[in-house]
Structure 1
């Protein structure tokens, strides 16, 4: 029987290969380490964790908690290994990274349907394939992707701005407008001269993230971090992302001294990003600075800004919500390459890509989880986000529809958790053929 190819044995590729094998589909799993190492990896093991050893916060009020529950329901290898290699971490799911990757490597290498090939893939393989090569995709394969889909579909540098929940913005302090009377597609947070002075000084004093050696890249002038712009001079931001030119505050009839603009990130308008505010600041500093901006004092950040080396696709232009390429039937992407951030999110998209690659192999159409589930919301974002300013995304409550009714924030999140997990379980139960090992009764 012809094998399905999985390229890359990180968390996404490992989960994809495991899902395929569980469905009885032979897999050829390519991993270039140890023949060719990356600047980030230290071993040849699968699913090696190179940064934080956390798979995110747990619990019904946590978006990652819902995604963890969905993955457990799906019979995830990553979640099984995480449970066995768990270490104390308060309210987060953290693992002993060596035990974690060793367990996953052992399970996959021993599976009779998984053939492991230790070599670099330099071209897109023929046949049904899952590409899960991560943020450090090799130059040769990146060139092959560019040749197939075009230069503008592949990014090499993740310069992302913070994204906040719309419901957490104080709209009484903002105004909708486009520059020079154009369509009012932006939310504008005006600052007085004194507010700008304090904000600029805080940027100068803020602690920056110290990047790994493999993330040290010269800044492209088009994506200079906001803290670097502040260091170039007091007025630099006023001629850059905070320029007020052409934006009249309808409450005063005048242009403010400075302005922070927010742009809609998803079709439903639940998430908005700060325009031009890509940053490498530490996360607590980002939160502190955002809360100095009028209208964002209580803003909930669903994705922090980042500045690091990353190879990812412009998913809205290329991928369907099934993670299959729009113009290449049988070719799937998963993990960071598909446009997600985080270990858990990578594993979850690996599950879906593996499931749909198996379905193609079996002559069945690809499927996507329901929108109320966290995985369903995530892959729908990848397929429908604004392609002009696409940024990789992690699990957050802005990805799923809100619940109706008057209740507190925690109650709402727990209701969204219960609804999402039930929808995901119902979807799993509806799949034919079923996914072996999937559970249908894991709700708390």
Structure 2
């Protein structure tokens, strides 16, 4: 079993509340995950205003988290992310060491220096004169912090993804003591897959087993409209043995993040025997609390499936085959409506009918609006709203097929579509919009035939 498994709170966006952190730590303890790395980019005292100390009130809240984590068998790791650090300044070093000391005094034993998403060159000329290379300066800073760290010390380099064989990384591998762990995200910032071979390559460069900062289910910045609810997947089981560990960078929605997190815990436990779909069903039930809510969430996740682990599969949902079958029964979709959508999935047999699916989706919206897990309800609210609008358009489109002479029905579709599209949270992309337009064109053709 791999050494470090758990989560990173390392996104851009609202940091989790302390109660949300406690909830995640409880779940981690239940599932045997052992590491919580605290490093939210928008905690101002963590990054942008790192020179300011945390207040006694904040430290008391952190202290409770540290104790809870210890009781749950979780190592609470504090990230230090000194933006625009002046390596030649004794004042900056003393300030950073004081911040580390604040956390040592409340029981934190493990730390991580997070220098990701920072310039790849020195900000201050005297740093370049003193150290020569960024890797040299960063290695020196790591050692200053490591000397005062009784537990695990880790480091996120400024170059944290790619082929894994650059001069910068090779120098880090040479300079950093082997007892300093180094994080890596894979070939990409958000890697569609992670292989055993790539893990070995990067580990060889860094002269230690790399630890993965796995950017799933994180959904910050340009991904903020995607919920990332699908299971952990496309990671070879051999990565567990060849790496020093895997930590998941969680999504902006802490309760929704529990779904992929549970599947990751199952991946860690099962290794080669891991079954993503089975683990996902297990996670849906655990987080929602009942089979009916789990099914509703499954339908939403299926339609809101845009995520970096399968960038070409955004439309590979259960509705597409049903729509294909629907048009086949009517002799084909109207050609005048235009071409197929980009990234349409390969044709496959449909299970059920489109009308049955529309009714089930309508019920799913109701369930999602009344989820027993109220925190999950709040997390998913914008996507539930978007799904509700999409289902409304779908039902109107089917009504247009049934009533081709009703011009008012067609008008209502184009009155409602702008409102639905104004919600940028991603559910089914343009699939239902295109289907509705095809239905309108079909109605016009029927009118001309009659």
Q: TM-score, normalised by structure 1?
A: 0.28
Which one has a bigger Cα radius of gyration?
Answer: 2
Q: TM-score, normalised by structure 2?
A: 0.28
